[in-house]
């Protein structure tokens, strides 16, 4: 059976935004335009799709709060990675950690059946409003798969600046001195000429709902994430339309940390 869409593949070339209160409207379009511009300069337009960009931007806005955008310095973040430079077996994680520059927590298989599929190290760049590069940083993406179900991705990085969580988590779990934060959100992808309904206008005011333009049809996806900090490293366990509860994702995070 063919597994459902690999969401990590859909997100690997998109913007990773760290923002608070960013509405998915002209701001979203500006971020997408920036990504398209930089991709044109790099000759990578063939690798872009509007849905990839929309998913990444919407997920970033809803799942990550505060940070460098609120500080008024960085206004756009672009990221890139090449899976040809990654690994498709867990034995290759040591080489990926060497590229990243530090050791990370990870597992080869979770007790719920999700197994390591692949991993890659990429780079993100932050720019100010004048397109000047403010910082560069490396990150790692690890993808886990289970049969034909949606994949779960583990995103790992050392934040360039402190990232205060301004939006409250839906649920939390404390493991020793580490707090796990669970956040879920709804993403409605609509065509460019879509007209908002009254219900849409109400929904888009919620901090866990985003309406994003650029899809070829109306589609609703639900995202779920568990995020935590350990030894100065941020971990985000993320997926879309998962058949997992918050507790099950907390359990997966604990397995990654080695506390379960």
The predicted-structure confidence for 135-184, as pLDDT tens digits, reads as follows 788 889 999 999 999 999 999 988 765 555 556 889 999 999 999 999 98
Beta-carbon contacts of residue 33 (< 8 Å; ≥ 6 apart): none
Tens of pLDDT along the chain (260 residues)? Answer: 444 444 334 333 333 333 333 333 344 444 444 544 444 444 443 333 444 444 444 444 433 333 334 344 555 666 677 888 899 999 999 999 999 999 999 999 999 999 999 999 988 777 777 777 777 888 899 999 999 999 999 999 887 655 555 568 899 999 999 999 999 888 888 888 889 999 999 988 887 888 877 677 888 888 899 999 999 999 999 888 999 999 999 999 999 999 87
Interatomic CA distance for residues 140 and 21, integer angstroms:
26
| Percentage of residues in the chain having pLDDT higher than 90 | 38
Per-domain residue ranges of the chain? 7-257
How far is it, in rounded angstroms, from Cα 234 to Cα 88?
A: 23
Instruction: List the beta bridge partners of residue 122.
Output: 139
Burial 66-91 (b: 16+ CB within 10 A, else e): bbbbbeeebbbbbbbbebeebbeebe
Residues paired with residue 183 on neighbouring β-strands, in sequence order: 225
pLDDT in the model for residue 22:
36
């Amino acid at each position: 059976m063919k597994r459902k869409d690999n969401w990590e593949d859909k997100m690997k070339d998109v913007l990773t935004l760290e923002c608070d209160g960013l509405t998915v409207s002209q701001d979203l379009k500006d971020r997408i335009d920036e990504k398209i511009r930089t991709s044109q300069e790099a000759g990578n337009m063939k690798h872009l799709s509007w849905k990839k960009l929309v998913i990444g931007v919407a997920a970033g806005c809803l799942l990550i709060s505060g940070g460098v955008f609120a500080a008024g310095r960085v206004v756009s973040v672009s990221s890139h990675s090449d899976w040809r430079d990654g690994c498709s077996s867990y034995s290759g994680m040591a080489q990926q950690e060497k590229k990243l520059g530090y050791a990370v927590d990870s597992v080869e298989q979770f007790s719920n059946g999700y197994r390591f599929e692949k991993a890659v190290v990429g780079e993100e760049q932050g720019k100010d409003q004048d397109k000047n590069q403010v910082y560069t940083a490396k990150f790692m993406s690890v993808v886990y798969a289970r049969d034909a179900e949606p994949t779960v991705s583990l995103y790992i990085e050392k934040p360039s600046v402190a990232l205060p969580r301004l939006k409250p988590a839906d649920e939390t779990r404390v493991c020793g001195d580490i707090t796990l934060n669970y956040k879920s959100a709804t993403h409605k992808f609509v065509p460019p000429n879509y007209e908002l309904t009254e219900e849409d206008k109400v929904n888009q005011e919620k901090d866990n709902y985003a309406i994003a333009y650029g899809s070829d049809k109306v589609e609703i996806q639900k995202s779920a994430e568990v995020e935590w900090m350990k030894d100065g490293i941020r971990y985000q366990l993320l997926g879309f339309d998962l058949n997992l509860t918050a507790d099950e994702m907390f359990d997966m995070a604990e397995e990654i940390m080695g506390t379960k």
